[in-house]
Amino acid sequence: MSIEQITPKLVVEGADKAIRYYGEVLDAELRRRDEAGGRVVFAELGLPGGASFQLKDADAVDKDPLRLGGRGLLLTVVAEDPDRLAERMAAAGGEVVFEVADQPYGMRQGRVRDPFGHEWIVGRPIPQDGG
């Protein structure tokens, strides 16, 4: 069996607001947006470098993490400048859970909770001397 791709789909309350937020902080571009009954049922966002993810408005079947009282997805993003990305996310309404710092396992990482309840680990491998 070959798995070609796994794409996260975030459930949010306020999909259009989320599309704007991710556009601002991740430079995400809206590739597709479908709605039914005034609610976004599917949106695909493309990221610089080729990655993508999806989102949709919460509904009776798919609840958003803020209403459930917990964390949604925990996503890991390898970024050119994780410090700057964490700053952008916080400035646009996110909450820093862990400051970006060098970790003993060879990554420079931190964690930010976005305004929709999903947490993003932002990081980059620490360059090794003598490489």
- Can you give the pLDDT at residue 70? 74
Q: What are the tens digits of pLDDT across the range 96-131?
A: 999 999 999 999 999 999 999 999 999 999 998 754
How many other CB atoms sit within 10 Å of the CB of residue 29?
14
Q: Let me know the angle formed at the C-alpha of 76 by 33 and 70, rounded to the nearest 5 degrees.
A: 75
Nearest partner of 5 among 51, 42, 56, judged by Cα = 51
Q: Is 67 in contact with 58 (CB distance < 8 Å)?
A: yes
- Can you give the pLDDT at residue 3? 59
**Helix 15-26, helix 82-91: angle, nearest 10:** 140
- Can you give the pLDDT at residue 131? 47
Q: What are the tens digits of pLDDT across the range 2-46?
A: 757 779 999 999 999 999 999 999 999 999 999 999 999 999 999
Please provide the DSSP assignment of the chain as one string. Answer: --------EEEES-HHHHHHHHHHHH--EEEEEEEETTEEEEEEEE-TTS-EEEEEE--SSS--HHHHTS---EEEEE-S-HHHHHHHHHHTT-EEEEEEEE-TTSEEEEEEE-TTS-EEEEEEEPPPTT-
Residue 50 has pLDDT above 90, yes or no: yes
Q: What are the tens digits of pLDDT across the range 60-90?
A: 989 898 888 877 788 999 999 999 999 999 9
Query: Domains in the chain and their CATH numbers?
Result: 9-125 (3.10.180.10)
